[in-house]
Structure 1
Amino acid sequence: MASIKSITDLFIHALSDIYSAEKQLTRALPRLAHAASDAELSEAFQAHAEETQGQVERIDRIVEILEIRLTRMKSAAMEGLIDEGRDMIEGIAAGPLRDTALIAAAQKVEHHEIAAYGTLCTLARHLGYKDAIPLLEETLDEEKQTDKKLSAIAEQGGTNEAATGQPARRGTA
């Protein structure tokens, strides 16, 4: 790990880490979309893959605006979360149970990203990076919306079907 001696160094390290995480995620989301049995879940993963590419581009803009240089690194946290998702794909037969496991794995990723972008927003405020804050907040909001969407998909029945073995009744109370 690079030497962190200031809040600026900490910001650059955190931004470098989430940049790596987003790049890893752009490669992992298509696998999740392909592994999902539920069409809505597959579409959600595909949509988030496109959104994630936009988030990478937003980080590139922040780097330009602030005239900083990211540290080359691999996000160990994201690597572990992606490995966990891969284990779910390989270890659970296709169907509602796997979909439920994929939602759980994806929400762990979202919660990691929410924490990372929340921290970056706070650090940017402390550093007076006024032009970077809206870009970071936009991504933070997207991550929160993705988390909510995953929860909604789970609550619509896939997790119930996985638990009971009975088909989900979508749109019923």
Structure 2
Amino acid sequence: MKSTTKSTQNGKANNTKQGSKAAPDNSNAEQGFRDLFEDELKDIYWAEKALTKAIPKMIKNTTTEELATALEDHLEVTKGQVARLEEVFQILGKAARGKKCEAMDGLIKEAEEIMEDTPEGIVRDAGIISAGQKVEHYEIATYGTLCAFAKTLGEDEVANLLQQTLDEEKEADEKLTEVAEASVNLEAASK
């Protein structure tokens, strides 16, 4: 059991726990926050570029025309999102560089496993939708956070660009839900 002691320093009472770490120095927190923001931009940039390679594999494995069309449309949107991120880096005066996104890498691998382990047909299509929506939800969370970070940092132009992408990701998720509920899931359940 850790004991709590009170000490005074410069006349101020201070509660400390034996064995606990000292409070972090927040004097450089603003720069650390900006570094975190830029690091997360590199992460999602890598993710979007990886998706431009993964989505065509998903399209190739679909059997439903409606799903293939939704994925083809989103592939074009994703290419635009890569360009938009490059614009964000330019506004920030940074080189557009990616940093491997472990989360997206895992989601893409999961999608590949679904396509390998599920026989061709409507059930695989349902699995592709599931994998696609996991990707969209990750992107929605990431872009929502990046928008908030950009606003906090006073990067309004960047925030507006990131908001455009966030809106597109939400639309893609809604489209996948529509395809799933209108046909794919019903057909898969009845096979």
TM-score (norm 1): 0.90
| 2:39 alignment counterpart | 13
Give the Å deviation of 1:157: 1.9
| 1:136 partner letter | L
Deviation per CA, 1:94-137: give whole Å up to 9, x if none: 11100000000000000000000000000000000011111100
Answer 1 or 2: higher relative contact order, Cα 8 Å, separation at least 6.
1
RMSD of equivalent CA atoms: 1.3
| 1:159 alignment counterpart | 185
| 1:169 alignment counterpart | none
| 2:94 partner letter | I
1:47 paired to 2:78: no
Runs of 4+ in 1 over 2 A off after TM superposition: 68-72
Count of equivalent residues: 162
- Cα distance in 2 for residues equivalent to 1:40 and 1:132: 33
| 1:150 partner letter | L
Q: Which runs of no fewer than 5 residues in structure 1 stay unpaired? A: 166-173
User: Is the 1:12–1:70 Cα contact (8 Å) retained in structure 2?
Assistant: no
1:103 paired to 2:129: yes
1:146 paired to 2:169: no
TM-score (norm 2): 0.82
Q: Which runs of no fewer than 5 residues in structure 2 stay unpaired? A: 1-28
1 or 2, which has the higher strand percentage? Answer: 2
